């Protein structure tokens, strides 16, 4: 099994086994949804901005809307879905907080948000910035994909979900690092894991206690 497939399976393992209805936001060609269908999910609805990917997804999902999720009203009842998936999509949005809040009403009170979000604190980005003074955007893929509008560390991710009224219940890391850095992390008692995490996989639920903003300590140098 390839490394890529292993990571996909880690992400999808966050979706509860008894999930029956899923909203896949930014569903792409429907690859994740197809895997979930094979796992027994009864209904998956997708939203995809790219019209070509949308055509491919229609063969895999129950219904797919070709739309910009930041300017779209979904015609489904409130609390209809057991799970909402944001797979590598929040970083592409102008206002990811608004999207999380807007689509929250479609999630059941006992439902879950599953999201994958790249980590801009990744060590290769930092080393290039410190040693080379570069912040080079890439044409396709990677942490500095030119279509990324927002950048997150784990602290920012936690703040984003808290402000949207969600409680994070599980976090998984996609550790991608050279062997030497992994050994160094062990020697430092896993204190470097925030720098070796290429992306985070988040599982969150509605915060029944409401949003209470916590002020983050601001450092001055």
pTM: 0.90
Residue 35 phi, psi dihedral angles, 5° rounding: -65, -40
pLDDT 10s per residue in the chain (221 long)? 344 446 889 999 999 999 999 999 999 999 999 999 999 999 999 999 999 999 999 999 999 999 999 999 999 999 999 999 999 999 999 999 999 999 999 999 999 999 999 999 999 999 999 999 999 999 888 999 999 999 999 999 999 999 999 999 999 999 999 999 999 999 999 999 999 999 999 999 998 775 555 556 544 43
C-alpha 193/C-alpha 131 separation (Å) is: 21
Q: Phi first, then psi: give them for residue 172, nearest 5 degrees.
A: -120, 150
Distance CA 104, CA 160 (A): 13
């Amino acid at each position: 099994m390839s490394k890529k497939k292993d990571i996909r399976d880690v992400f999808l393992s966050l979706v509860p086994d008894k999930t029956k209805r899923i909203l896949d936001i930014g569903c792409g060609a429907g690859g994740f949804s197809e895997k979930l269908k094979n796992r027994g999910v009864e209904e998956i609805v997708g939203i995809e901005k790219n019209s070509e990917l949308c055509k491919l997804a229609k063969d895999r999902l129950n219904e797919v809307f070709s739309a910009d999720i930041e300017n779209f009203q979904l015609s489904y009842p409130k609390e209809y879905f057991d799970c909402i998936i944001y797979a590598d999509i929040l970083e592409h949005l102008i206002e990811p907080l608004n999207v999380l809040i807007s689509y929250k009403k479609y999630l059941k009170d006992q439902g879950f948000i599953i999201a994958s979000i790249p980590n801009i604190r990744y060590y290769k980005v930092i080393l290039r910035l410190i040693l080379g003074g570069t912040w080079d955007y890439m044409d396709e893929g990677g942490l500095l994909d030119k279509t990324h509008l927002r950048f997150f560390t784990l602290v920012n991710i936690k703040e984003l979900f808290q402000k949207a009224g969600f409680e994070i219940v599980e976090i998984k890391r996609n550790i991608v690092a050279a062997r030497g850095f992994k050994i160094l992390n062990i020697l430092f008692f896993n204190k470097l894991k925030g720098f070796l995490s290429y992306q985070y996989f988040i599982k969150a639920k509605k915060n029944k206690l409401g949003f209470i903003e916590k002020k983050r300590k601001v450092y001055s140098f």
